[in-house]
Amino acid sequence: MKIENIQVNKILDSRGEWTIEVEVESEGIKEKASIPSGKSRGSYEAICLDYETIQKNLPYFLKEIENIDFDSSQRFDEFLIERAGKNKEKLGANFVLGLSIAFARIIAKKENLELWKYLKKEYFEKTNTFLREGNKLIINTIGGGVHSFNNLDIQEYWLVSKEKFSENLINIILNTIKTLEEKLPKPLGKNDEGAFCTDFKDNYEPFIYLSQFEEDFELGADIAANQINKKFDWNKVYESLKKLNVIYLEDPYKEDEFENFTNLRFKGFKVIGDDLTVTNVERLKIAIEKKSIDGVIVKPNQIGTIKETFDFVKLAKDNNLFTIFSHRSGETNDNWIIDLGVAFDTDYFKIGVPMQGERVSKWNRLMEIFKNG
Ligand code: 2PG
Ligand code: MG
């Protein structure tokens, strides 16, 4: 399939900041994809470019692809990977991901398939996973750090569902959030991702509130240590979190501290890489070699194409790591993250709370796929 036209639009994200939407046209079919952005970014994430630069580059890029026939989303992605530069600095990871997803949507439409079904066929031809297995959910209930405006240093306080996704689980989550809202100190605001946000006595107190829900959930946190500049005695912090029965820890140390991640695993935590691994196969190889993690966050916009996202997931799965497909703090109403996560059989989704538009769009898409297949 040849690409006849590409349009890049400037749109707003959920934080009221500018981002882009990419529209691709091929064989008379037009499809779009819009791109979220993170605030607590790892420095190894692929490079994004601003709208103006992308617009300036667009005519040259269009000329280059004018007569190329791409027969699958993988082939197109391979071209993009080659053309975009090592860190996507030539085209911008945001533009590249918009192209990658919009083109996959075009082929899916042509084949009369849902995006997730097309991707599953394209990448996981012979496996038959999601609808039998299902995905668990990680709910960021209380927030701090750079997503918030309170006194908490830890970025996310999680409830991790013991059950797999179902309408019943959504009801449990809705009731849990309501009960939590009634009990938390007031005044109570909401942060970038819709997590509750207020001042607490210390960084540990939110877990006291969350512990009442342990029948249905396990406890976890995204420490987002890369963003914390205060000096902490981290051994003490993790001893205290252990006593509070916290099990999952994302980015408990800064992005190059592989050995510290490893040590924490031996203390019984389930350790997750985000800024550490940035959806990048090379970073993941180091983490695997050093036995630093039990699971990985998967954010396609950290790397730039569906193909590279798949390669990352495959390497993680081949090494028995669990995967968490994740939104970004600055989101759009697009919900392709769900199609990708379902297609690649993710163990967890981290998509915020089900009561804030740009997050709700993901919950509803998951429900739609769950119901209709
Ligand atoms: C994270 C994310 C998403 P951001 O750190 O995991 O919750 O935040 O998108 O700001 O990087
Ligand atoms: Mg994180």
Using a 6 Å cutoff on CB, does residue 192 contact ligand 1?
no
- pLDDT tens track for 323-354: 999 999 999 999 999 999 999 999 999 999 99
Using a 6 Å cutoff on CB, does residue 191 contact ligand 1?
no
Catalytic residue of the set 31, 114, 156, 193: 193
Q: Are 283 and 276 in contact (CB under 8 A)?
A: yes
Task: Respond yes or no: is residue 193 known to be catalytic.
Answer: yes
Q: Are 354 and 329 in contact (CB under 8 A)?
A: no
- Pocket-testing residue among 147, 191, 248, ligand 1, by greatest number of atoms within 8 A of Cβ: 147
Higher-confidence position of 371 and 50:
50
Contacts of 104 (CB under 8 A, 6+ apart): 73, 115, 118, 119, 306
- pLDDT tens track for 104-160: 999 999 999 999 999 999 987 645 444 446 799 999 999 999 999 999 999 999 999
Using a 6 Å cutoff on CB, does residue 222 contact ligand 1?
yes
Atom of ligand 1 nearest to the CA of 146: 10
Atom of ligand 1 nearest to the CA of 156: 7
Return residues with CB closer than 5 A to ligand 2 (ion).
222, 274
Using a 6 Å cutoff on CB, does residue 38 contact ligand 1?
yes
Using a 6 Å cutoff on CB, does residue 329 contact ligand 1?
yes
Above pLDDT 90, what percent of the chain? 96
Q: Are 289 and 265 in contact (CB under 8 A)?
A: no
Domains of the chain: 3-124 (3.30.390.10), 136-372 (3.20.20.120)
Using a 6 Å cutoff on CB, does residue 279 contact ligand 1?
no
Residue nearest ligand 1's atom 4 by CA: 38
The DSSP call for residue 323 is E
Above pLDDT 70, what percent of the chain? 98
Q: Taking residues 75-99, what's their average pLDDT?
A: 98
Q: Taking residues 45-70, what's their average pLDDT?
A: 97
- Pocket-testing residue among 40, 41, 140, 299, ligand 1, by greatest number of atoms within 8 A of Cβ: 40
Residue 4, class by beta-carbon neighbours within 10 Å (0-12 exposed, 13-18 middle, 19+ buried)?
middle
Q: Are 275 and 226 in contact (CB under 8 A)?
A: yes
Catalytic residue of the set 88, 254, 299, 362: 299
Contacts of 138 (CB under 8 A, 6+ apart): 158, 159, 160, 161, 220, 248, 324, 348, 349, 350
